[in-house]
Amino acid sequence: MLTRRLVSAAMDADCVTYARDGDVALIHLDRPERLNAVVPALVDGLLAAFGAASADGVGAVVLAGRGRAFCAGYDLKEPEPRDGLDAARSRVERIQDVTRLMRAFPGAVVAAVHGYALGAGAEFAFGCDLVVATRDAQFGFPEVGVGLSVTGAISRLLPLTVGPARAKELLLLGKRFGAETAREWGLVNRVVPVGEHETVALDLARIAAARPRIALGLAKSALDAGIDATVEGAMLREVDDALRTLAEDESDAAASAFRAGRDG
């Protein structure tokens, strides 16, 4: 039986929805009018949703996006808060907590990606244990081009998967890449026809959730153990880098240029 409830911390802004289908939780980014672009309320909703999944004791989670995209990254149409570096540090660390919760969750977390998965959206997807993507999915890391820095431990996880040379090309040049390329590079597990991503992701999640729970959790933690220490170090560095980009005028200019281009 599918049960649904809103879990956004800002209950007047339904940025994230949570549903339970037996032993699997379904978490949807739910800002379709903005391609599920990241704002603080969406981060709060994700944290609340993964908290709900843990409290419910489900064996797996499917993370997906409503509308035309999985997640288009940070919402650069939103004005940048001017509340000091301490508050900025807190915001960056809070979005990193999404990665921490996904990795700490004792069951499988499966990303169901369609459309755009850019910036923070790509980081959310690649922070999951398994990734299912539609053939038209597009990934990319545009942060440098808009004067920002990466988060979500991608500075460790990406080179670990694709190698340092390719990771530098992706981060420094911001080139987008498709689902088949992502699969060839080891970033995506399944490439499926458009519209089938959630069905396939749910099938994989059900298989994982049916495994003996303790063994499933131990297998996941054992696989992650070899990189977890450096992941935390990477996230600490990412916070410092994010604060530096916020302190520079070039991030404002790049973001303004991005907004002007989108408005045009």
Q: Does residue 80 carry a catalytic annotation?
A: no
Structure tokens at 165: 């040379």
Contact 46, 55 (CB under 8 A): no
Lowest mean pLDDT among 5-19, 135-149, 154-168, 223-237: 5-19
Contact 44, 95 (CB under 8 A): no
Q: What CA–CA distance (Å, rounded) separates 258 from 264?
A: 10
pLDDT (tens digit per residue) in 190-249: 999 999 999 999 999 999 999 999 999 999 988 888 777 677 787 888 888 888 877 766
Confidence at 66, pLDDT banded by 50, 70, 90: very high
Look at residue 150 and tell me whether its pLDDT is greater than 50.
Answer: yes
Question: pLDDT exceeding 90 applies to what percent of the chain?
Answer: 68
- Say how many CA atoms lie within 13 Å of 153 toward its Cβ: 25
- Of the residues 123, 143, 198, 238, only one is catalytic, namely 143
pTM, two decimals, is 0.85
Written as one letter, the residue type at 1 is M
